[in-house]
DNA sequence: AACCGGCGTTGAGTCACGCTAAACGAACGC
DNA sequence: GCGTTCGTTTAGCGTGACTCAACGCCGGTT
């Protein structure tokens, strides 16, 4: 049978086609690479590499062996990683959710990254409606959710902010304010603000849809929307204005909608949330993967 | 990474679930098995075996790892075997042929046996008609053929006899001789013998379809057939009698045909034949596999 | 021609580590 | 109670994977 060091030496040399670099990559001397390959060839009974003093190349038998052994090596690694993940608790199914498209991209990228290093996991990424808040977590439909802060529910654990974005106001293109380079919160006075309701708690709604401007002027109330598509169609139809994230302009460009920066509003912050009771190594690993995805 | 001895120890213990037998199978002490497993578990980070002082069992993580590593081990072995075969010249495609069903069974069994030990080969088993003789070899359509001896072609190499069978005579069930417990060659006198022709050489035809009995009486000539099905239908229709092998009664049982032993005829002998010019390690290996298939 | 510099090979020597042997403890059956 | 059958543990041994340095081969340069 093939020893571990023989397998690795053969595969590395088959890729590098250079004894010196092979030894360097494996942390052994070139002499050792030469001896190992030589012994292997003697055992196989035929040369695996055709080498002059200047060049190294695979023989047909060597090439075939390389093609056969490469997947073996991969499987060996994933099998071990899977077992080690299970040992560390990083295994099983993780149902993740997001409400905004850029959140979806972030979660998908993080899921791919995590899966690459932890092949034993199963990660699903689902979209949830704007008005569901953190209800999917409480209902046990999701294990972890990317949501807009603030989150104050006591039974939930929140991760750090992983996405930050400037606030903008979505206006009908024909609106008198639509031409402004930027707006202030005071400009909201009297405008009909499109909101969401549903499962979002009171403090969250107050934070994202204030009832008064800083100076105390009342902000109007427009229609209630449950999804971004609804918000967009309300704005396009002139039924109101909606607060949003600057990225929205890239993800939901509409000819009938103007995205105007809101100068004095605090930035939007997104982060991960999960049920404290359902905390797990897999959740922590996923949160870490999302965190290292940003920059 | 996993060392060879760790892989083998783990897989063996997962199958045996017994440290003593595992050590015995691997030729090491039980202490070594214990140490190896222990070290592996420490590295993985979780127990792979649940063991009391009386029983050993796989943990879920261990079971999963076993299922992952078993195919890896198989692939590793076949990859090595393939390379070693290539080193010994046992590789490539081998087209084999046979004319009788029992020959087909023998070749198929031999092909399976060979393939088990030499995964790099590709072996096809085809049926050839009765009247093609060794023509497929000469035409280059086959590499090796199981045929009824004698073979005297100078450019062909013959292997040893791998199948021997008593001769019988196929008669219509209603024929007066059909009731006899056995027949002698003299009984052929005057009977219309069903023969084949095609590519079979003269000496072969004379050997299998004699024109006279030992005492000199003429043997008749019936219709010419190219396949066993034709022979059988000629016999059933009463158009003649046919010499054959005793096994035929098992492989071609027909209500309208009687198989009566031919007492004084030499037994039928089958063996492998191949073109001397196309001799190869693969052919020799296959011939050996066929030879060791019989008993 | 002579001289490099890069590269694979070879041999002597060293040290980690896989392995054994033996003692030990735990869990049964009688 | 004892004997048996397991798996575990420890000290000590020996093999073989490794390093280091010298060597030979080849192509490019002056």
Q: For chain B, where are the alpha helices, taking DSSP H only?
A: 4-16, 19-26, 30-44, 60-88, 101-117, 135-138, 202-208, 228-236, 248-251, 281-291
Chain A CB contacts of B122 under 8 Å are none
The Å distance, CA of B19 to C1' of C12, is: 40
Whether residues A69 and B78 touch (CB distance < 8 A) is answered with no
Cα separation, B184 vs A156, in Å, equals 98
CB distance A158 to A269 below 8 Å: no
Q: What is the pLDDT of residue A88?
A: 86
pTM: 0.73
Backbone phi and psi for residue B257, each to the nearest 5 degrees, phi listed first? -125, 135
For CA atoms B213, B217, B218, B223, the dihedral sign is negative
| Spans of chain B, pLDDT less than 70 | 294-295
Cα separation, B219 vs A275, in Å, equals 97
The Å distance, CA of A213 to C1' of C2, is: 91
Mutate: best of A87, A90, A281, partner B, most B CBs <10 A:
A87
Which nt sits closest to A55, CA to C1'?
A: C7
Cα separation, B47 vs B58, in Å, equals 9
The shortest C-alpha distance from B275 to chain A (Å) reads: 26
User: For chain C, which bases have at least one atom within 7 A of a protein Cβ?
Assistant: 6-11, 18-23, 25-28
**What is the tally of helices (H) and strands (E) in chain B?**
10, 12
Helices B281-291, B101-117: axis angle to 10 degrees equals 120
Residue-by-residue DSSP string for A155-172: TEEEEEEEEEE-EEEEEE
Confidence of residue A246 (pLDDT cuts 50, 70, 90): very high
| 3-state SS class at B211 | coil
| 3-state SS class at B143 | coil
Residue A117 has pLDDT above 90, yes or no: no
Q: What is the pLDDT of residue A282?
A: 92
Q: Which of A44, A77, A83 is opposite residue B64, by nearest beta carbon?
A: A83
Taking the mean position of all CA atoms in its chain, how far away is CA A101?
A: 11
Whether residues A8 and B2 touch (CB distance < 8 A) is answered with no
CB distance A146 to A107 below 8 Å: yes
Per-residue DSSP letter, A266: P
Whether residues A44 and B84 touch (CB distance < 8 A) is answered with yes
Q: What is the pLDDT of residue B216?
A: 87
Residue of chain A minimizing CA distance to B120: A64
CA B20 → CA A29, B31, B57, distances in Å? 39, 9, 14
Residue A20 Cβ under 7 A from any strand D atom: no
What is the number of CB-based contacts under 8 A between chain A and chain B? Answer: 92
Average pLDDT score over residue span A195-211: 92
Whether residues B83 and A76 touch (CB distance < 8 A) is answered with no
3-state helix, strand, coil in chain A (%, to 5): 45, 25, 30
Cα separation, A110 vs A285, in Å, equals 10
Which nt sits closest to B5, CA to C1'?
A: C18
Which nt sits closest to B27, CA to C1'?
A: C19
Choose among A15, A11, A33: nearest CA to A24: A33
Q: Which of A45, A77, A82 is opposite residue B87, by nearest beta carbon?
A: A45
Confidence of residue A92 (pLDDT cuts 50, 70, 90): confident
Q: Which of A64, A75, A120 is opposite residue B83, by nearest beta carbon?
A: A64
The Å distance, CA of B48 to C1' of D7, is: 15
Cα separation, A202 vs A199, in Å, equals 9
For CA atoms A275, A280, A286, A291, the dihedral sign is positive
Q: What is the pLDDT of residue A295?
A: 62
Residue A54 Cβ under 7 A from any strand D atom: yes
Whether residues A1 and B82 touch (CB distance < 8 A) is answered with no
Per-residue pLDDT reduced to its tens digit, A153-186: 999 999 999 999 999 999 998 898 888 898 999 9
**Which protein residue lies nearest to nucleotide D17, measured between its Cα and the C1' atom?**
A32
Residue of chain B minimizing CA distance to A47: B87
Q: For A209-253, where are the alpha helices, taking DSSP H only?
A: 228-236, 248-251
Q: What's the burial of B185, exposed, middle or buried (CB within 10 Å: 0-12/13-18/19+)?
A: buried
Give the strand pairing for B167-172 and B242-245.
Answer: antiparallel
Q: Which of A44, A71, A76 is opposite residue B2, by nearest beta carbon?
A: A76
The shortest C-alpha distance from B43 to chain A (Å) reads: 8
Helix or strand (DSSP H, E) at A95: strand A92-98
Q: What is the pLDDT of residue B52?
A: 81
Cα separation, A268 vs B263, in Å, equals 102
Whether residues A80 and B4 touch (CB distance < 8 A) is answered with no
Q: What is the pLDDT of residue B295?
A: 62
The shortest C-alpha distance from B158 to chain A (Å) reads: 29
Whether residues A1 and B77 touch (CB distance < 8 A) is answered with yes
Rounded (5°) CA angle B36-B40-B46: 135
Chain A CB contacts of B26 under 8 Å are none
Whether residues B1 and A80 touch (CB distance < 8 A) is answered with yes
Cα separation, B18 vs B13, in Å, equals 6
Residue-by-residue DSSP string for B72-110: HHHHHHHHHHHHHHHHHT--EEEEEEESSHHHHHHHHHH
Give chain A's mean pLDDT: 92
Residues of B (18-77) placing their beta carbon closer than 7 angstroms to any atom of strand D are 18-20, 29-31, 33-35, 37-38, 51, 53-54, 56
Q: What is the pLDDT of residue A99?
A: 93
Whether residues A75 and B79 touch (CB distance < 8 A) is answered with no
Mutate: best of A83, A88, A91, partner B, most B CBs <10 A:
A83
Would you give the end-to-end CA distance of chain A in angstroms?
A: 45
The Å distance, CA of B50 to C1' of C30, is: 28
CA B196 → CA A118, A181, B47, B209, B224, distances in Å? 68, 100, 70, 9, 5
Helices A281-291, A101-117: axis angle to 10 degrees equals 120
Choose among A98, A225, A67, A245: nearest CA to A170: A245
Whether residues B71 and A75 touch (CB distance < 8 A) is answered with yes
């Amino acid at each position: 049978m093939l020893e571990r060091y023989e397998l690795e030496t053969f595969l590395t040399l088959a890729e590098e086609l250079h004894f010196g670099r092979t030894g360097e990559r494996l942390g052994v001397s070139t002499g050792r690479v030469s001896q190992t390959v030589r012994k292997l060839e003697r055992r196989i009974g035929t040369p695996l590499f055709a080498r002059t003093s200047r060049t190294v190349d695979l023989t047909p038998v060597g090439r075939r062996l390389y093609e056969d052994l490469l997947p073996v090596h991969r499987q060996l690694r994933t099998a071990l990683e899977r077992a080690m993940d299970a040992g560390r608790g990083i295994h099983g199914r993780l149902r993740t959710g997001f409400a905004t498209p850029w959140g979806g991209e972030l979660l998908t990228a993080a899921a791919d990254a995590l899966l690459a290093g932890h092949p034993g996991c199963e990660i699903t990424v689902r979209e949830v409606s704007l008005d569901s808040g953190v209800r999917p977590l409480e209902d046990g439909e999701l294990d972890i959710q990317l949501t807009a802060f603030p989150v104050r529910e006591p039974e939930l654990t929140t991760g750090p902010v992983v996405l930050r974005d400037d606030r903008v106001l979505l206006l009908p293109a024909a609106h008198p304010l639509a031409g402004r380079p930027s707006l202030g919160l005071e400009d909201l006075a009297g405008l009909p603000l499109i909101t969401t309701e549903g499962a979002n708690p009171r403090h969250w709604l107050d934070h994202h849809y204030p009832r008064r401007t800083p100076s105390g002027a009342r902000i109007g109330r427009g229609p209630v929307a449950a999804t971004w598509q609804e918000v967009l169609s309300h704005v396009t139809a002139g039924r109101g204005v909606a607060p949003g994230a600057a990225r929205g302009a890239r993800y939901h460009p509409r000819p009938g909608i103007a995205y105007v920066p809101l100068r004095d509003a605090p930035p939007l912050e997104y982060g991960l949330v999960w049920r404290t009771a359902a905390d797990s190594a897999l959740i922590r690993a996923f949160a870490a993967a999302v965190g290292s995805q940003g920059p």
